[in-house]
Amino acid sequence: MSGPEGVARTYGRRWSTGSGARAEHYALMSAPAWEVVADATGIGDGIAVLDVCCGSGEFLTLVRERGAHVAGIDAAEGMVALARRVDSADVRLGSLEALPWPDATFDVVTGFNGFQFAPDMGDALAEAARVVREGGQVAVCNWGGDGPQELMAVTEAARSLGEDTTLVPRLPIGEPGVVEAMLTAAGLTPTAAGDVAVPWAPPDDATLLRGLMSAGSLVPTIEQIGADAVRAAILDAAAPHRAADGSYLFASTFRWVVGRY
């Protein structure tokens, strides 16, 4: 299956699989990054916000509570169904390269660990710029920066047991300057950037496994080698982060960049 729409459907199927568990146990890990980006872009009363790859809609809830007008898009039907519960949110099923809104609709477009799922991230950023009003902003936030990536290391340890089923190029978007250059190429001017700590502290093995096994990135691995093998790999890789009471603490970092149109 090729082309942006085909890639979106495949990723959508993967991330729909565990959408309920992901929202229950894992989605709020990104909350520190949401707050930082919302502050950096000045989201508040009356601001029109589009969150791409909006997942189950928690960021939409946060900025809706700030008084913003909110919209979201995701390729996963399961995620869209959850995000549509956000009050007054315009949430649609679709892909990054074909946003179903007119030019100059939003004041801010955000993407948290989302833009990298596009076959051509530059095209996705250009499409985000298209729907931003003059003077508006596009914010990109991903795993990266100078801090630790303990949780990503656990997920990668499990995923490495199966064949690589990544559908798009792996870009070093967590490194300083990479996203800035891509925003510039999309017609945006980078204005701010930074790192933010996003710790996750599941209280027990069950929560750890339920949260991580819901990741769309692990769905193909589970299909290839079985759920039991993936669970064992997660527990083995996570063992150094396990406290005496059975709880875990993972230190991770997101890097965010804002560009103005």
CATH number reported for the structural domain that contains residue 45 in this entry: 3.40.50.150
Tell me, yes or no, whether 210 lies in a domain. no
Per-residue model confidence as pLDDT tens digits over 29-47: 999 999 999 999 999 999 9
pLDDT tier, 25 (very low <50, low <70, confident <90, very high otherwise): confident
Write out the DSSP string of 142-195: EE-SSS-BHHHHHHHHHHTTS-----S----TTSTTHHHHHHHHTT-EEEEEEE
Of 209, 202, 199, 211, nearest to 250 by C-alpha is 199
Is the CB of residue 19 less than 8 Å from the CB of residue 82?
A: yes
Residue keyed to tokens 């991770």: 252
Phi and psi torsions of 114, nearest 5°:
-130, -50
- For the record, the structure tokens of 54 come out as 């909006």
- The count of domains in the chain is 1
Residue 217, in any domain of the structure = no
Q: In this predicted structure, what is the pLDDT of residue 2?
A: 60
Residue 90, Ramachandran bin (φ over 0: left; ψ between -120 and 50: alpha; else beta) = beta
Q: Is residue 160 part of a domain?
A: no
Domain that holds residue 106: 3-148+168-197+253-260
Indicate if the pLDDT at residue 66 is higher than 80.
yes
86 domain residue, yes or no? yes
Is position 55 within any domain? yes
* Dihedral class, residue 144 (left if φ above 0, else alpha if ψ from -120 to 50, else beta): left
Note whether residue 191 is domain-resident.
Answer: yes
Q: Is residue 153 part of a domain?
A: no
pLDDT, one tens digit per residue, over 184-218 is 999 999 999 999 999 999 999 999 999 999 999 99
Instruction: Read off the pLDDT of residues 154-177 as tens digits, 9 standing for 90 and up.
Output: 999 999 999 999 999 989 999 999
Residue type, 137: Q
pTM of the complete model: 0.96
One-letter amino acid at 139 equals: A
Count, in order, helices (H) and strands (E) of the chain.
11, 7
232 in any annotated domain: no
Neighbours of 4 (CB within 10 A): 19
